[in-house]
Structure 1
Amino acid sequence: MMGNALTSIELFAGGGGLLLGCSLAGFTHELAVEWDGPSCATLRRNEACGYPLIAGTKIHEGDVRDVSWNNYVGQLDLLAGGPPCQPFSLGGLARAALDPRDMFPAMTHVLSVLRPRAFVIENVKGLTRSSFADYYSYILLRLQHPTLTAREDESWRDHLARLSREHTSGVHDDLRYEVVPTVVDAADYGVPQHRMRVIIVGFREDVNADWSFPAKTHSGAALFEAKQSGDYWERHAVPMRGRSLGSRHSGDTGLLPWRTVRDALAGLPEPQIGGVPGWFNHELRTGARSYPGHTGSLLDEPSKAIKAGVHGVPGGENMLRYPDGRVRYYSVREAARIQCFPDRYEFDANWSESMRQIGNAVPVRLAQIVASSVAVALRLDDAKRAYDASLVRELEEVHYASAR
């Protein structure tokens, strides 16, 4: 640790979703690394404007494999990042280890060099598909034993076999992490969007973390109940003729209701051509249309997952669908709200590029919840160590006193 602050380095920072969430959880960023120029422009713009969650963060534009880590070795609490997910995405070619965009090897290399007390990695649910089962096991073992690197000319399958033997032999390397992977729907944590993701959290073996993934806070059953009782409609002043219960969802009615698109956009004026004075990135984009399989997101349900597809978005995920059937594109600001970005956080690009950055991001709220739980575990570990140290000092004083 650097002083009393919890410190973090962000890899594959993109537009900043995971970074902002970790900042809200109390981590101070020493460095954010991102190779994509437009994403770096967004980060720099907000850092230069003094936006508090990113102010003072050093932004490095370039490949994580080319960064010198000498100044950070052994000094870091958290390493966070979302390695490029195209090798595992349903929208990509799904080539996993054969895809040169697979950055998990780079992530584990940095982990082996920096040796942080904990890490948080986010990726698409496609990573857990049955066709990737062996490679997913390989990723988890690599993260558990980051210094057990592949030998020259050793295939990933041969490396997996060796890692498995090492892992079960009882003889381990000098750096090991306890790793917990979890598949989550962001809507279950108050994000106004259905977004299925894998979150992998690891703690260095010497950290007494006593950690588990945060419990769900929201449910679809509670949303249906809120609509049925009228509470949801009254809160938004929706007249009777505009109300629709939608589908009945399963889940715990004792939780908070899922947040909907209407919840997310509350207080935000309708976008206009040329933008809305006083609002960043809130310009109307025309041309949206509905057709089978491309219907948009319902106003009174969580949004479909915001997408970052470069060849268009086949499911209409980046469109809003009104109760009367009208559709329009989300403005950049509306999409940012659905991903829980703060209103004063500005995207330094046109609609398509900004939507790409937003679609690739981790929802800020989900990142904050996960990172906060990690921060609490690290703080508790610090407290236990401080208590143990004070107890040792007391015992030593008793020993010396009796010796006299």
Structure 2
Amino acid sequence: MSELSFRMGELFSGPGGMALGARLAANAVDGVELTHAWANDFDLDTCRTYRRNILVPEYGDEAKVVSSAADLPADGGGIVHQNVHDLGIEDLGPVEGFAFGFPCNDYSLVGEWKGLTGTYGPLYSYGVKVLATKRPKWFVAENVSGLRGANEGQAFKQILQHLQEPTDGLRYKLVPHLYSFDDYGVPQRRQRIVIVGIRADMDVEFRVPSPEIYKGADVSARTSLMSPPINLYAPNHEFTRQSQNVVDRLNLIEAGEHAFSPRVLEVLPDHLKIKTRTTISTTYKRLEPNKPAYTVTGAGGGGSHMYHWSANRALTNREKARLQSFPDDFVFEGLKNSVRKQVGMAVPVKGAEAIFTALFKSMAQVPYPSIEPNIDISEILATKPSTHR
């Protein structure tokens, strides 16, 4: 196998934003070939979406959704629908590259911020096990910006320590960076920490790609949703039927405002005001047409669905997918609520593409404009861990 031919594995793959970004990047860098060997996600609809859009183009009808890692096709082309706790990592095939967006629930700034003490916080360790056993040449890990502060910073430190040295005798050179994806061609203000690791025995240095490369991109919500217009019969483009109260409320909210904006609170009649103890600034918030959208999310009750800047309605899942930079021919499997979750949890395609393009150029020794990381790993890792895995 050529040095620049990579089999890629994924844990917590989501519907395929990371994978599609990696594929587009490989296609754009001369001399790089990428195949998707295996993936894993707990949600069945998500697995079906990944199979349809990522695996079928490579493997055709041989691509499979399986219920156990032991059932993966020997030559790749499968995604495991299974809880990661039950996943047989030893049954996963060899890979040269690895990606994982480990669940962010316990690191998000919205919520209890439990970090490593929460249900989802320790799940990164399964990625560490893949590194320790498969020894890929590179990996890409993604999480929310709140990861840095969870458990008074100790969670991030521990994660970096374990990713840097997954097992005795194996080390990775890490480059963590807080990316604002609207700087990289994504029509959405979405900040995420992405950690790129290169195996230490390789003479390769990853550098954070400069946003200057993408400076000319129009990342406004209007351009994203209107140029070109979405076909009325496009997949996942079902419109939500809004109640009269919602229509009346939105009619009094202007672009960029939300249900708790000072002006809105003055003009909303009492029966249209939101009676809650917490005031979330995205509740019934309208997009601003000439700016990137605010962050697309995958869950939440009334008022959390994202709202058009002028039409009195929530966005469709297809519109949200555009804000996540998915092409219109990327079809999400499942009912509307399932698709909403998949779109909101995905890594934006163009954001992933920018990072993987830099990674593959680094591997191919191709120069590109870069910037210094905005996270100082040497400062974070100044002291040794008190315990090992």
Cα distance in 2, alignment partners of residues 53 and 270 from structure 1: 29
Structure 2 residue runs of 5 or longer lacking an equivalent are 27-33, 64-76, 251-258, 261-280, 367-389
After TM superposition, what 4+ stretches of structure 1 lie above 6 angstroms from structure 2?
none
1:347 and 2:332 aligned? yes
Cα distance in 2, alignment partners of residues 379 and 4 from structure 1: 7
Cα distance in 2, alignment partners of residues 68 and 131 from structure 1: 30
Residues matched between the structures, number: 309
RMSD: 2.6
Aligned to 1:321: 309
Q: Residues 1-400 of structure 1: matches in 2 within 5 Å? A: 5-26=5-26, 27-46=34-53, 50-51=56-57, 56=63, 57-70=77-90, 75-102=94-121, 103-129=123-149, 131-147=151-167, 173-217=168-212, 255-256=215-216, 258-269=218-229, 276-277=232-233, 279-287=234-242, 288=246, 289-290=249-250, 291-292=259-260, 293=281, 294-309=284-299, 311-312=300-301, 316=304, 318-322=306-310, 326-380=311-365
- 1:23–1:54 contact (8 Å) kept in structure 2: no
Change (3 A) 1:67 1:213: same
Cα distance in 1, alignment partners of residues 227 and 59 from structure 2: 23
Q: Offset of 1:210 from its aligned partner?
A: 2.3
Change (3 A) 1:45 1:280: same
Task: Name the SS of the counterpart of 2:211 in structure 1.
Answer: coil
Structure 1 residue runs of 5 or longer lacking an equivalent are 148-172, 220-254, 382-404
- 1:9–1:29 contact (8 Å) kept in structure 2: yes
Cα distance in 1, alignment partners of residues 176 and 105 from structure 2: 19
- 1:123–1:198 contact (8 Å) kept in structure 2: yes
Q: Offset of 1:80 from its aligned partner?
A: 0.2
- 2:106–2:120 contact (8 Å) kept in structure 1: yes
- 1:20–1:54 contact (8 Å) kept in structure 2: no
Q: Provide Cα deviations, 1:191-240, integer angstroms capped at 9, x if missing partner.
A: 00000110111111011112211111378xxxxxxxxxxxxxxxxxxxxx
Task: Name the SS of the counterpart of 2:23 in structure 1.
Answer: helix
Task: Name the SS of the counterpart of 2:104 in structure 1.
Answer: coil
Q: Offset of 1:51 from its aligned partner?
A: 4.0
- 2:38–2:92 contact (8 Å) kept in structure 1: no
- 1:125–1:183 contact (8 Å) kept in structure 2: yes
Q: Offset of 1:141 from its aligned partner?
A: 0.6
% of aligned pairs identical?
30
- 1:187–1:258 contact (8 Å) kept in structure 2: no
Change (3 A) 1:266 1:125: same
Q: Give TM-score, length-normalised by structure 2.
A: 0.73
Q: Give TM-score, length-normalised by structure 1.
A: 0.70
Q: Provide Cα deviations, 1:27-78, integer angstroms capped at 9, x if missing partner.
A: 2110011111221122234358x446998531111133433445666x4221
Aligned to 2:265: none
Aligned to 2:376: none
Cα distance in 2, alignment partners of residues 177 and 132 from structure 1: 25
Task: Name the SS of the counterpart of 1:330 in structure 2.
Answer: coil
Change (3 A) 1:352 1:5: same
Instruction: Determine which structure has greater relative contact order: mean sequence separation of CA pairs < 8 Å that are 6+ residues apart, divided by chain length.
Output: 2
Cα distance in 2, alignment partners of residues 337 and 190 from structure 1: 12
Task: Name the SS of the counterpart of 2:195 in structure 1.
Answer: strand
Task: Name the SS of the counterpart of 1:20 in structure 2.
Answer: helix
Higher gyration radius (CA)? 1
Q: Offset of 1:119 from its aligned partner?
A: 0.6
Matched to 1:44, the amino acid is R
Task: Name the SS of the counterpart of 1:142 in structure 2.
Answer: helix
Cα distance in 1, alignment partners of residues 320 and 60 from structure 2: 20
Cα distance in 2, alignment partners of residues 180 and 4 from structure 1: 21
Task: Name the SS of the counterpart of 1:280 in structure 2.
Answer: coil
- 2:115–2:150 contact (8 Å) kept in structure 1: no
Cα distance in 1, alignment partners of residues 81 and 179 from structure 2: 30
Task: Name the SS of the counterpart of 2:22 in structure 1.
Answer: helix
- 2:22–2:353 contact (8 Å) kept in structure 1: yes
